[in-house]
């Protein structure tokens, strides 16, 4: 008879996700995850078999969380350019200061894994549609505009901020408003 698990799968993967968020995939070791989750490294080896399986499970858990956050942000924002900006700011919130934004982390870490890359493609399409319908009523242009705005957002997350920047949210809001001012027709600039 198998012993009951004292630490859930979700708790293990959440602890592993924090480690990856702080130090990338190189930070993911059985010893580090075991220490963070309160389990022996050997127990984790029994559960996952190898480091790549643990990394994939961790990244899939992070994708699940990002999908949920994206759906919640989409449902909670106005259908206008200001709502598109608010949606992206909401997706950028919540990370600890020493952690990489989840969307960037997942895209970077999933590049070599076809399953993870497919999750990224699917999420990108959902995000592009959510943004695009806030940016233009022209259906044929929605996905393209949404993809362009998402690219601007990701670039703004990567680009180093100036020392005067009050917060990531204010930097993103400013940069995305500037993007809207250049790309959207007159009169659609969010307030």
139-158 vs 114-135: helix axis angle to the nearest 10?
Answer: 120
Closest CA to 134 of 149, 123, 124: 149
CATH 3.30.450.40 is right for the domain spanning 9-183: no
Q: What is the pLDDT of residues 104-126, one digit of tens each?
A: 777 777 778 899 889 999 999 99
Mean per-residue pLDDT, 21-27: 85
How sure is the predictor about 134, in pLDDT bands with cuts at 50, 70 and 90? very high
Spatial separation of the C-alpha atoms in residues 87 and 17, rounded to whole Å: 23
Mean pLDDT for the stretch of residues 64-77: 94
Domain ranges of the chain: 9-183
């Amino acid at each position: 008879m198998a012993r009951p698990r004292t630490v859930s799968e979700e708790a293990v993967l959440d602890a592993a996700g924090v480690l990856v968020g702080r130090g990338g995939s190189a930070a993911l070791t059985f010893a580090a995850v075991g220490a963070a989750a309160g389990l022996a490294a050997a127990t984790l080896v029994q559960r996952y078999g190898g480091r790549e399986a643990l990394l994939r499970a961790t990244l899939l858990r992070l994708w699940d969380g990002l999908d949920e956050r994206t759906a919640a942000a989409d449902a909670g924002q106005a259908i206008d350019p200001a709502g598109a900006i608010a949606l992206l700011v909401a997706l950028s919130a919540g990370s600890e200061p020493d952690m990489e934004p989840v969307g960037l982390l997942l895209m970077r870490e999933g590049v070599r894994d076809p399953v993870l890359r497919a999750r990224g493609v699917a999420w990108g399409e959902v995000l592009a549609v959510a943004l695009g319908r806030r940016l233009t009523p022209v259906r044929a242009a929605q996905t393209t505009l949404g993809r362009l705005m998402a690219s601007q957002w990701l670039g703004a997350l990567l680009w180093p901020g100036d020392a005067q920047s009050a917060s990531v949210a204010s930097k993103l809001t400013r940069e995305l408003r500037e993007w809207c001012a250049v790309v959207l027709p007159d009169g659609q600039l969010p307030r």
